[in-house]
Protein backbone atom coordinates (compact mmCIF):
# COMPACT_ATOMS: atom_id res chain seq x y z
CA UNK A 1 0.00 0.00 0.00
CA UNK A 2 1.14 3.51 -0.85
CA UNK A 3 0.31 6.45 1.38
CA UNK A 4 0.26 9.86 -0.26
CA UNK A 5 0.62 12.92 1.96
CA UNK A 6 0.15 16.38 0.46
CA UNK A 7 0.75 19.60 2.40
CA UNK A 8 -0.99 22.69 1.05
CA UNK A 9 -0.63 26.25 2.32
CA UNK A 10 -3.53 28.47 1.20
CA UNK A 11 -4.07 32.18 0.96
CA UNK A 12 -6.24 33.04 3.96
CA UNK A 13 -9.06 34.40 1.82
CA UNK A 14 -9.17 31.10 -0.13
CA UNK A 15 -9.52 28.69 2.80
CA UNK A 16 -13.31 28.44 2.65
CA UNK A 17 -13.23 28.13 -1.14
CA UNK A 18 -10.81 25.22 -0.86
CA UNK A 19 -13.03 23.52 1.72
CA UNK A 20 -15.97 23.80 -0.69
CA UNK A 21 -13.94 22.26 -3.53
CA UNK A 22 -12.83 19.40 -1.31
CA UNK A 23 -16.37 18.78 -0.08
CA UNK A 24 -17.62 18.65 -3.65
CA UNK A 25 -14.86 16.39 -5.01
CA UNK A 26 -13.93 14.14 -2.06
CA UNK A 27 -16.29 11.28 -2.97
CA UNK A 28 -14.99 11.20 -6.54
CA UNK A 29 -11.39 11.10 -5.38
CA UNK A 30 -12.10 8.44 -2.76
CA UNK A 31 -14.02 6.33 -5.29
CA UNK A 32 -11.33 6.58 -7.93
CA UNK A 33 -10.05 3.12 -8.83
CA UNK A 34 -7.20 2.20 -6.52
CA UNK A 35 -7.95 4.74 -3.77
CA UNK A 36 -8.68 3.02 -0.48
CA UNK A 37 -8.78 5.92 1.98
CA UNK A 38 -8.92 9.72 1.98
CA UNK A 39 -8.74 12.25 4.81
CA UNK A 40 -8.26 16.00 5.07
CA UNK A 41 -6.54 17.66 8.04
CA UNK A 42 -6.15 21.31 9.03
CA UNK A 43 -3.22 22.52 11.12
CA UNK A 44 -4.27 23.52 14.64
CA UNK A 45 -1.95 26.53 14.83
CA UNK A 46 -1.98 27.77 11.24
CA UNK A 47 -5.48 27.47 9.78
CA UNK A 48 -4.20 28.08 6.24
CA UNK A 49 -2.22 24.79 6.21
CA UNK A 50 -3.98 21.58 5.18
CA UNK A 51 -2.86 18.01 4.61
CA UNK A 52 -4.47 15.26 2.59
CA UNK A 53 -3.74 11.62 3.37
CA UNK A 54 -4.75 9.04 0.83
CA UNK A 55 -4.06 5.32 0.56
CA UNK A 56 -3.51 3.74 -2.85
CA UNK A 57 -3.20 0.08 -3.75
CA UNK A 58 0.10 0.80 -5.53
CA UNK A 59 2.17 3.42 -7.37
CA UNK A 60 0.40 2.70 -10.65
CA UNK A 61 -3.03 3.49 -9.16
CA UNK A 62 -1.78 6.84 -7.85
CA UNK A 63 -0.17 7.68 -11.19
CA UNK A 64 -3.36 6.77 -13.03
CA UNK A 65 -5.24 9.19 -10.78
CA UNK A 66 -2.60 11.92 -11.21
CA UNK A 67 -3.03 11.69 -14.99
CA UNK A 68 -6.84 11.60 -14.87
CA UNK A 69 -9.26 14.33 -15.89
CA UNK A 70 -10.54 14.37 -12.30
CA UNK A 71 -7.11 15.19 -10.85
CA UNK A 72 -6.40 17.80 -13.50
CA UNK A 73 -9.72 19.53 -12.77
CA UNK A 74 -9.32 19.45 -8.97
CA UNK A 75 -5.66 20.49 -9.06
CA UNK A 76 -6.33 23.39 -11.45
CA UNK A 77 -9.05 24.73 -9.12
CA UNK A 78 -6.93 24.19 -6.01
CA UNK A 79 -3.41 25.31 -6.86
CA UNK A 80 -4.43 28.87 -7.77
CA UNK A 81 -5.46 29.27 -4.12
CA UNK A 82 -2.03 28.40 -2.69
CA UNK A 83 0.07 30.81 -0.70
CA UNK A 84 3.11 28.69 -1.52
CA UNK A 85 3.90 25.60 -3.55
CA UNK A 86 2.43 22.34 -2.25
CA UNK A 87 4.68 19.59 -0.90
CA UNK A 88 3.94 15.90 -1.43
CA UNK A 89 5.34 12.63 -0.16
CA UNK A 90 4.69 9.03 -1.16
CA UNK A 91 5.46 6.73 1.75
CA UNK A 92 5.05 3.07 2.65
CA UNK A 93 2.99 2.35 5.77
CA UNK A 94 5.07 0.20 8.09
CA UNK A 95 2.96 0.01 11.24
CA UNK A 96 -0.62 0.86 12.09
CA UNK A 97 -2.19 0.47 15.54
CA UNK A 98 -5.90 0.96 16.13
Range of the domain at 71: 2-92
β-sheet bridge partners, residue 8: 50
Report pLDDT digits (tens) over 64-90: 999 999 999 999 999 999 999 999 999
Res 98 pLDDT > 90: no
CATH code of the domain containing 42: 3.30.70.100
Residue 39 included in any domain: yes
Burial 67-96 (b: 16+ CB within 10 A, else e): eeeebeebeeebeebeeeeeeeeeeeeeee
Residue 98 included in any domain: no
What is the structure's pLDDT at 12? 97
Report pLDDT digits (tens) over 17-74: 999 999 999 999 999 999 999 999 999 999 999 999 999 999 999 999 999 999 999 9
Closest CA to 83 of 19, 18, 5, 8: 8
Residue 83 included in any domain: yes
For the chain, what is the domain count? 1
Mean pLDDT of 5-23: 98
Residue 97 included in any domain: no
Dihedral of the alpha carbons of 7, 11, 13, 15, in degrees to the nearest 10: 0
Res 95 pLDDT > 90: yes
Residue 80 included in any domain: yes
Amino acid sequence: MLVRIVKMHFQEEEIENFKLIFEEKKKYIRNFEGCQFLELYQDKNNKSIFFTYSYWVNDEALEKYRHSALFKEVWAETKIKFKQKAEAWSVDKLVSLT
